[in-house]
């Protein structure tokens, strides 16, 4: 027999009831139990006898005080800021907040435009050119480190005959590096060291 509750929320007739529990802050469903309610006793705290219905994956059941509502539940999922692509993890019940998306950007040069990520080709090309410029400088520095002692030996008159073509190969390589266009690099073949 189900208990009957008076206007004050206390049972006027004892009986068994299924109690559906919810979080006292978020209202999220946390479980159920079958309870025996004595006369003069109310439902357990943070519970209701209103059946929540069928749970659906991807949604949280939330008690609003009068009924259960299904709310989007993306907790634990990664979202990306549409302003700076930074990733974070959702820790709240409800839809993805404004300014974030579940869709991951494909490159570090993507911008959120009209509801999708669009790669900024100009910014991407600038970054590639900068990277190629840095690589060019590093390769020239490496070539110079091979050339310097050989030039010293040549200028001092004590270079080995076997090192003369090595010096020429490294100088030719370094010169070819100076001609590389970082925007459209065609890298010369590095001499054997």
Per-residue model confidence as pLDDT tens digits over 163-172? 999 999 999 9
Q: What is the pTM of this model?
A: 0.67
- Average pLDDT over every residue of 176-181: 98
Tell me what pLDDT residue 48 has: 96
**Rg (Cα) of the chain, in Å, rounded?**
36
20-38, pLDDT tens digit by residue?
Answer: 999 999 999 999 999 999 9
Axis crossing angle, helix 163-178 with helix 121-156, rounded to the nearest 10? 150
**CA-CA distances (angstroms) from residue 112 to 81, 84, 97, 99, 103?**
9, 9, 15, 10, 10
Residue with token string 């050119």: 129
Tell whether the model's pLDDT for residue 127 goes beyond 80: yes
Q: Is the model's pLDDT at 51 over the cut of 90?
A: yes
Binned at pLDDT 50, 70 and 90, residue 1 comes out as: confident
CA dist 34 and 11 (Å) reads 16
Q: Please report, for the chain, the start and end positions of each structural domain, with discontinuous segments joined by +.
A: 4-72, 78-116, 122-178
Between CA 183 and CA 189 the distance in angstroms is: 18
Higher pLDDT, 139 or 55: 139
pLDDT at 156: 96
Residue 141 has phi, psi (to 5 degrees) of -65, -40
| 65-109 pLDDT per residue, tens | 999 999 999 999 999 999 999 999 999 999 999 999 999 999 999
pLDDT of residue 149: 98
Mean per-residue pLDDT of the chain: 96
From 70, 26, 74, select the one nearest 46 (Cα to Cα).
26
């Amino acid at each position: 027999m189900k208990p009957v509750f008076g206007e004050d929320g206390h049972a006027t007739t004892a009986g068994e009831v299924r109690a559906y529990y919810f979080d006292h802050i978020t209202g999220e469903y946390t479980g159920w139990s079958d309870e025996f309610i004595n006369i003069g006793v109310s439902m357990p705290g943070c519970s209701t006898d209103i059946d929540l219905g069928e749970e659906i994956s991807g949604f949280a059941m939330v008690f609003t005080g009068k009924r259960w509502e299904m709310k989007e539940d993306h907790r634990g999922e990664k979202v990306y800021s549409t302003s700076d692509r930074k990733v974070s993890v959702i820790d709240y019940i409800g839809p993805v907040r404004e300014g974030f998306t579940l869709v991951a950007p494909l490159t570090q040069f993507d911008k959120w435009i009209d509801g999708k990520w669009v790669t900024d080709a100009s910014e991407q090309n600038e970054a590639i050119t900068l990277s190629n410029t840095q690589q060019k400088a590093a390769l020239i520095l490496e070539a110079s480190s091979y050339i310097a002692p050989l030039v010293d030996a040549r200028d001092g008159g004590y270079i080995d005959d076997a090192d003369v073509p090595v010096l020429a190969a490294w100088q030719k390589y370094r010169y070819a590096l100076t001609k590389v266009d970082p925007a459209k690099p065609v890298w010369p073949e590095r001499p054997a060291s």
